[in-house]
Amino acid sequence: MDALRELSVREQVALLFVVLFGLLALATIVAVARSLRELTAEQAAVRERFTRDLRAVWAGTVLFWIAWVSGPLGSTLLFGLVSFVALREFVTLTHTRRADHRSLLLAFFVVLPLQYVLVGMRLANAFTVFIPVYVFFAIPVISALANDPFHFLERTAKIQWGITVTVYGMSHAPALLLLDLPRYRERGAFLLLFLVAVVAAAQLGQEAATRRLRRRPVARAISRSFSWRAFGIGAGAAALVGLLLSWTTPFTPLAATAMAAIAGAAGTFGEFVMKALKRDAGVRSWSGASSVTGAVGLLDRVAPLCFAAPVFFHSVRGYFGI
């Protein structure tokens, strides 16, 4: 551990990626080797899901690596693009009307870029209020000017909600990279990785728990799998991963555990809320067969992060009193 601390920040981060890519390569090799055997139908289904998840993790890791290599500008642009694609998926499945055209243009081509510019310029006070305050007022004004009262509240609320989740929430992830913490300069990559790891741990923990436990779902109409026990296990898994990774963070082990539990819980709740939303829109997954669009289903993947990132970001700021 001491030898690691001796390294420069750049070397530490590089080492982190070497370890990550190594683990992924190992997992891929094992998966490929095991795929050579005969499989039953059930095993094949499990394998297929695993392969898909593995591919998503690869994509995510490569994304983070590009974000780190290309510096603050590149990472901000990259997350901006992810936001754009996620918002596009969100808007596709909500029923907007012709009168919403200008509001949507504002969301895609003004709000989204501006939010990421504010993030990139490290204007924490500006980018945390830009959407909840200014955009919150601007969207209904533009919509009202279009002269269509039909379902007005519903339409504006949907657009605002989409922006808040996919742009505002998401933008807090690259903001972590740029956060200026005492004695922790330029190490935002670890913080972002910490967040992603604990959110993923919460998802996996919860998923594994539901498969084993077969508990009564809390809200059957929304999710057949969400139960309080499984949720607790998910948050516990996040806390455990947080504790194990606490040496990469600027927190004490106890604080790291607490933060991980909070972020993991927020992510899991986020996914739960997205499920309710998808039920409302009549699809099972954003990329599902019933979707008109053949979307890539990115929103499914990033939704937990969108919910966890702002909560985590403000927990970190609160912890350091900045």
Q: HSE (CB half, 13 Å, CA atoms) of 114?
A: 15
Count residues near other proteins (CB under 8 A): 19
Decide: is 294 part of the binding site for other proteins (CB under 8 A): yes
CB 128 within 8 A of CB 52: no
Alpha carbon of residue 143 to chain centroid = 29
Q: How far is the CB of 287 from other proteins (least distance, A)?
A: 11
Nearer to other proteins, 109 or 247 (CB): 109
User: At closest approach, how far in Å is the CB of 296 from other proteins?
Assistant: 8
Residue among 262 and 283 whose Cβ is closer to other proteins = 283
Smallest separation, CB 102 to other proteins (Å): 8
CB of 100 to other proteins, least distance (A): 8
CB of 36 to other proteins, least distance (A): 31
Stretch of 32-40, 161-169, 197-205, 292-300 lying at the interface with other proteins (CB under 8 A): 292-300
Please report how close the Cβ of residue 133 comes to other proteins at its closest, in angstroms.
24
Q: Is 292 among the residues that bind other proteins (CB under 8 A)?
A: yes
CB of 8 to other proteins, least distance (A): 38
d(CA 66, CA 74): 8
Closest CA to 218 of 149, 267, 262, 268: 268
Determine, following the binding rule CB under 8 A, whether residue 109 of this chain makes contact with other proteins: yes
Site for other proteins contains 111 (CB under 8 A): no
Please say whether the beta carbons of 73 and 113 come within 8 A. no
Three-point CA angle 241, 245, 250, nearest 5° = 130
> Does 98 help bind other proteins (rule: CB under 8 A)?
yes
Q: Is 150 in the site for other proteins (CB under 8 A)?
A: no
- In the DSSP assignment, the letter for residue 133 is I
Closest CA to 198 of 249, 243, 260: 260
Q: Which two tokens stand for residue 114?
A: 């501006």
User: In this complex, which beta carbon is closest to other proteins, that of residue 88 or of residue 317?
Assistant: 88
Neighbours of 132 (CB within 10 A): 11
Nearest CA to 104 out of 142, 150, 53 is that of: 142
Q: Among residues 96, 115, 248, 257, which is the contact residue for other proteins, using CB under 8 A?
A: 96
In the list 75, 76, 89, 245, the residue contacting other proteins (rule: CB under 8 A) is 89
Examine residue 105 and tell whether it contacts other proteins (CB under 8 A): yes
3-state secondary structure of 146: coil
- Residue of the chain from 49, 55, 101, 284 that contacts other proteins (CB under 8 A): 101
Contacting residue, 108, 152, 184, 320, with other proteins by CB under 8 A: 108
| Residue among 70 and 293 whose Cβ is closer to other proteins | 293
DSSP string, 50-105: HHHHHHHHHHHHHHHHHHHHTHHHHHHHHHHHHHHHHHHHHHHHS---GGGHHHHH
Q: Token pair of 20, please? A: 């990550």
Yes or no: say if 190 and 177 are a contact pair by the CB < 8 Å rule: no
- The answer to whether 197 touches 245, Cβ cutoff 8 Å, is yes
| Closer residue to other proteins, CB minimum distance, 82 or 177 | 82
Q: Which residues are near other proteins by CB under 8 A? A: 84, 87-89, 91-92, 96, 98, 101, 104-105, 108-109, 289-290, 292-295
